[in-house]
Amino acid sequence: MTTAQNSYPGFPGKIGRTRAESEEHFTLPVRPAKGSPNVVVIFMDDLGWADIGCYGGEISTPNIDALAARGLRFNHYTTHPICSPARAALLTGRNAHSVATGWLAQNTPGYPGYSGEIPLDAPTIAETMRAAGYATAMVGKWHNSPNYATPNSAWPTYRGFDRFYGFLQGETGYFFPARIMNGSTIASIDEYPEGYYATDDWTDKAIQFATDIRNHDATRPFLLYVAYNAVHGPLQAKEPDLAKYRGRFDAGWDVLREDRLARQKALGIVPPDTQLSERDPAVPAWADIPGDQRKLFARYMEAYAAVLDCADQNIGRLVAHLQRMGELDNTIIVFSSDNGGTGSAGPAGMINFNRGFAGLPNKPIAEEVARMDWIGTGKTTALYPSGWGQVSNAPFPSYKTYTGGGGRRVACIVSWPAQFKDVGAIRPQFGHVTDLMPTLLDLCGVPTLQEANGKPAQQPHGASLAPLLRDAAAPPSRTEQYYECWANRAYYRDGWVAVSLQVKGKEVDFHNWTLHRHADDFSEITDLARQHPALLQEMTEAFDKAAWANMVYPLDSRSRTQKFNSQPPHQRPPATSTRRFLPGGQSVHPGAVMPLLVDRCYTITIRVAQPDAGQGVLWAIGDVSGGMVAYIEDGRAKLFYNGFGSYFSLLGPDVVAGERWVMLEYEAIGQRRGRGRLVVDDSAGDWGELSATFMGSIHEGLDIGLDRRGPVSWEIKNKYGAFRYTGLIHDLVIVSGAFSPDTVLTAQ
């Protein structure tokens, strides 16, 4: 007989041959301390400092204002002034460049501070709180992965979130989100139900996640990250919310900026002597704008207000649910934004903003006026004129992507009814987005991780704001911070800020710094650089030191077209390519399709078994932002082309019953112009213009046999819905050919 062991390796109990001879041991799960609070982080998108009521806005935000009344407001809280970097800093507590996210996650230029993928040894707040026993869930916008198409270690469920429902890319439509993920799987959605709206959906899932967590465990606290895409473009809103704001902005942006500043002074959110920054020289005075254009411009702000109003309603629903759960008092709620209001659409705005991503100029203003009723609907991807961005950011100058006050200073509210005593108060101490993770860990009693994914964990750069949340007289948690975005730079230290703004598409000017003192210049409009040259020199040297330490260099001031189309060599358009796609799967991600089509010649051929009277969509690429759809109707091949707001149709030959192939032949002829024709079994239709050539961003990818979710053609959607093809599809093949003779793209 063999000799008995006392135990198995690593088992603390005793093991005998029978239970009577053994001693059990149980490893208890890690749990937070009894009474630990829930945490809800509500992160808005492109919301300016002045938009909500408790910061001076006229838009109806009673539920956000109620958070402020139950909590504390910061009036000197800052952020990295664009989406992905701000989110990376929120998630890790570290400066964005130091976690490889100095720019948009999907546009990596090939430098360490800009790969777009948060390193695995920089633990997220979700990973940290989950390790401490918290349940974790997220809804809405991620935008912290360079690869949207294939599940990978940069996706939310791989970075600490038990549950995720939302989208991975930078923007999507509100009525027809392009690619909703449920965990790490694409949600199987062909058509959205009548009345669908993304902000409502994110909130429904947030409420469901909170309920599920509590139903399965009566005491486990949770972290819930609610990342609304509101109020980011496209400006699409529900009709009742739009109706509420008709005519409310007819006074124009000059009057509204003055009104907001007056309310800010009355609220005490700004000092009484605060001055309004000058109107952007590129923005016309409202009184000088022709009447029809004023009506057009006001429509944009009506839509923006409606998007924000709906988000506020949903925040109210979420808070009410926490109240019904009996957990509102012991829930920490943080409300903030990733950056300030934007000036990206220029002085006149754009009814189809994706034209900008596609490197195309604005449409003639007369065309925009004629289509003003589209603004706010699902027909297009509207974004407001930059004059409204200045209203959004009042009293500060500049916008999103800039390191002036308008880009980096945003609202921040922290509520914890069970703990905070001087609710409704304003905290003037400095705070930054990197401080949120250390603050929440501190308030929850959760330690930072010392190891992450087998490596020593990078520690947060931020400092806890908990002392000053509990004590209005507490000193600032820290007094220095650098900023960089699109080669714009800033450095804050002890009440002073140095700012350097650049011209996109021009060489970086390393000497154009301005200097501002917050004590008597809250809105950062008085330049003191000449009066304090030694101090400015210290500040610029401090920026340089921080820039090297955080992998900020090299600065990149290229144009929007160049930066937004920046891809590593293995993702760039191939010189030639043939790709075969099969029916029956979910939508093919645009990242897998667009390189085959951008600013180049190509053919798209689909093989079908056509039944008698068969009809429907053969394939569709894109949506209302831009794209094309090939279909059979009344026995004939047809194509509708949306060239980012320029619309064309082709008629092809008849498609009779039997085994058939249908091909789009496309030629890119230069200056972003193109032409195409439909071919059926060697019988060709006429050539017709199909411009502009594809480039930049579209929301939807490739659908085979139907047009899922967001339609390319509004007319086809209204007539047929997704318009499933009634025949059998064998396969679809894209053959990529020569690039346009004057393309700005580089083949691999």
Residue 413 main-chain phi, psi, to 5 deg: -125, 135
Q: Which amino acid is at 641?
A: Y
Rounded-to-integer distance, Cα 481 and Cα 543, Å: 9
Is 412 known to be catalytic?
Answer: no
For 201, the token pair is: 């959906």
Centroid of chain to Cα 655: 43
User: What is the 3-state secondary structure of 698-745?
Assistant: CCCCEEECCCCCCCCCHHHHHHHCCCECCCEEEEEEEEEEEECCCCCC
CA end-to-end span of the chain: 70
Rounded-to-integer distance, Cα 190 and Cα 553, Å: 44
User: What is the 3-state secondary structure of 433-460?
Assistant: HHHHHHHHHHHHCCCCCCEECCEECCCC
**384 neighbors 304 (Cβ within 8 angstroms):** yes
Rounded-to-integer distance, Cα 53 and Cα 41, Å: 19
Centroid of chain to Cα 119: 20
DSSP codes joined into one string, 515-544: EEEGGG-TT-----TTT-HHHHHHHHHHHH
Angular region, 732: left φ>0, alpha ψ -120 to 50, beta rest: beta
| Number of other residues whose CB lies within 10 A of the CB of residue 342 | 27
Among candidate residues 54, 83, 412, 601, the one labeled active-site is: 83
Q: Which whole-number Å values give the CA distances from 478 to 51, 432, 459, 522, in the listed order?
A: 27, 9, 16, 19
Rounded-to-integer distance, Cα 709 and Cα 730, Å: 23
E strands, 545-599, where? 577-581
For 427, the token pair is: 């905290």
Helices (H) and strands (E) in the chain, counts: 17, 30
DSSP codes joined into one string, 130-184: HHTT-EEEEEEE----S-SSS--TTSGGGTT-SEEEEE-SS---SSS-S--EETT
Nearest to 389 by CA among 509, 544, 277: 277
**129 neighbors 439 (Cβ within 8 angstroms):** no
What burial class does residue 191 get, using C-beta atoms within 10 Å of its C-beta: 0-12 exposed, 13-18 middle, 19+ buried? middle
Among candidate residues 97, 143, 516, 518, the one labeled active-site is: 143
Residues 6+ apart with CB under 8 A from 558: 504, 505, 566
Quote the DSSP letter at residue 227: E
Does residue 231 have a cis peptide bond before it, meaning omega lies within 30 degrees of 0?
Answer: yes
β-bridge mates for residue 613, sequence order: none
Rounded-to-integer distance, Cα 544 and Cα 498, Å: 12
Is 143 known to be catalytic?
Answer: yes
Residues 6+ apart with CB under 8 A from 193: none
**603 neighbors 734 (Cβ within 8 angstroms):** yes
| Number of other residues whose CB lies within 10 A of the CB of residue 217 | 12
What burial class does residue 482 get, using C-beta atoms within 10 Å of its C-beta: 0-12 exposed, 13-18 middle, 19+ buried? buried
Quote the DSSP letter at residue 476: P
DSSP codes joined into one string, 320-357: HHHHHTT-STTEEEEEEESS----TT-TT-BSSTHHHH
Residues 6+ apart with CB under 8 A from 241: 306, 307, 309, 310
Residues designated as active site: 83, 143
